[in-house]
């Protein structure tokens, strides 16, 4: 009896401590960013100027950069991670090929982000630059006044290679393993008798996936995708290496930009002016809040999507 009580209490204390830790981090961020709150108020969120020399700070370019790169990465990663989860969870559940593929995914998840950054910078970025040069060439060749020409003109392409697109591509590769392995777990956990019942009614394999497995596993699959999104939002090193680090607001995915995490990593070590430092910490606070909100939305969607008997 007494043992049980002690055990229960210990678990409760540790769980509460963990909650306090999160709250503590949140409060620390607020306290250390106070000077910047006093200076800019809420306008910090929509100001687009980031000028450490004149002490003018606004976070919008970085919020946009973070959301653009993460969501593009999410859309790019979804088809691949879904296919992988269905393939490994349903079609190829054991054997050498399964082990190799599964091991490969785990390896991909374990590669340090700086390696992705290097690969992106030396392999992916030159390819994107070639694509941009091709687009510029195309603009030269299309007849003046045509819609294609105006469209290409509007993109204002400069062949940098680095930019939002490069960052999103790298991120999508980095987050595929997270979404895929969780998806595979939940798909392989769909009860065998449910599937067998469907087969015995004459359903084809595709119908079983569509009508039995997917409804059963969709909330888990979504949870995996949101886990992946969370990782994309906070990724720093790989993004910094390929995004171009330009602190100016842009919506064009071929342009260089910057994300919240990358800005913090870049400017924090040398920031000594109190307002500059507080503004960087406030960017950190908003990264925290954005991640929290997106996770909350994820929870709501997963709850809505939950399979009801």
C-alpha separations of 294 from 3, 75, 113, 234 in Å: 40, 15, 22, 12
Tokens matching residue 243:
């995004």
Distance in Å, CB of 54 to another protein, minimum = 7
Site for another protein contains 102 (CB under 8 A): no
Short-list 178, 177, 167, 214, CA closest to 71: 167
Short-list 114, 156, 113, 159, CA closest to 134: 159
Which residue, 181 or 258, has its beta carbon nearer to another protein? 258
Residue-level length of the chain: 309
Only one of the segments 4-12, 32-40, 96-104, 264-272 lies at the binding site for another protein (rule: CB under 8 A); that segment is 264-272
Interacting positions 172-201 with another protein (CB under 8 A): none
Distance in Å, CB of 290 to another protein, minimum = 21
Site for another protein contains 247 (CB under 8 A): yes
> What single DSSP character describes residue 143?
P
Among 106, 153, 156, 273, binds another protein (CB under 8 A): 273
For 180, residues 6+ apart whose C-beta sits below 8 A from its C-beta are: 80, 81, 84, 85, 88, 105, 224
Among 97, 274, 292, 296, binds another protein (CB under 8 A): 274
Distance in Å, CB of 120 to another protein, minimum = 11
The dihedral through the CA atoms of 5, 10, 15, 16 has a sign that is positive
Among 241, 249, 261, 283, binds another protein (CB under 8 A): 241
Binding site for another protein (CB under 8 A): 49-54, 121-122, 125-126, 129, 158, 160-162, 240-241, 244-247, 256, 258, 265-267, 269-274, 276
């Amino acid at each position: 009896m007494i043992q049980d009580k002690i055990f229960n209490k210990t678990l409760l204390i540790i769980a509460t401590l963990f909650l306090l830790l999160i709250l503590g981090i949140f409060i620390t961020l607020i306290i250390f960013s106070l000077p910047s709150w006093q200076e800019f108020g809420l306008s910090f969120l929509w100001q687009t100027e980031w000028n450490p020399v004149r002490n003018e700070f606004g976070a919008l370019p970085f919020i946009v950069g973070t959301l653009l790169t993460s969501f593009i990465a999410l859309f790019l990663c979804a088809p691949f991670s879904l296919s992988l989860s269905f393939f490994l969870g349903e079609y190829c559940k054991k054997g050498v090929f399964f082990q190799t593929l599964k091991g490969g995914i785990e390896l991909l998840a374990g590669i340090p982000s700086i390696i992705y950054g290097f690969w992106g910078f030396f392999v992916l970025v030159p390819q994107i630059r070639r694509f941009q040069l091709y687009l510029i060439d195309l603009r030269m060749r299309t007849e003046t006044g045509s819609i294609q020409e105006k469209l290409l003109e509007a993109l204002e392409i400069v062949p940098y290679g680095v930019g939002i697109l490069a960052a999103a591509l790298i991120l999508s590769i980095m987050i595929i393993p997270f979404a895929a392995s969780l998806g595979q777990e939940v798909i392989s956990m769909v009860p065998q008798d449910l599937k067998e019942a469907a087969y015995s009614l004459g359903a084809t394999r595709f119908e079983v996936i569509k009508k039995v497995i997917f409804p059963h596993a969709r909330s888990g699959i979504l949870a995996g995708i949101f886990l992946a999104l969370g990782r994309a939002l906070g990724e720093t090193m790989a993004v910094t290496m390929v995004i171009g680090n330009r602190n100016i607001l842009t919506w064009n995915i071929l342009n260089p930009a910057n994300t919240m995490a990358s800005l913090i990593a870049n400017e924090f070590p040398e920031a000594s002016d109190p307002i500059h430092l507080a503004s960087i910490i406030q960017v950190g606070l908003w990264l925290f809040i954005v991640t929290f909100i997106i996770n909350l939305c994820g929870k709501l969607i997963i709850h809505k999507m939950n399979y009801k008997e």
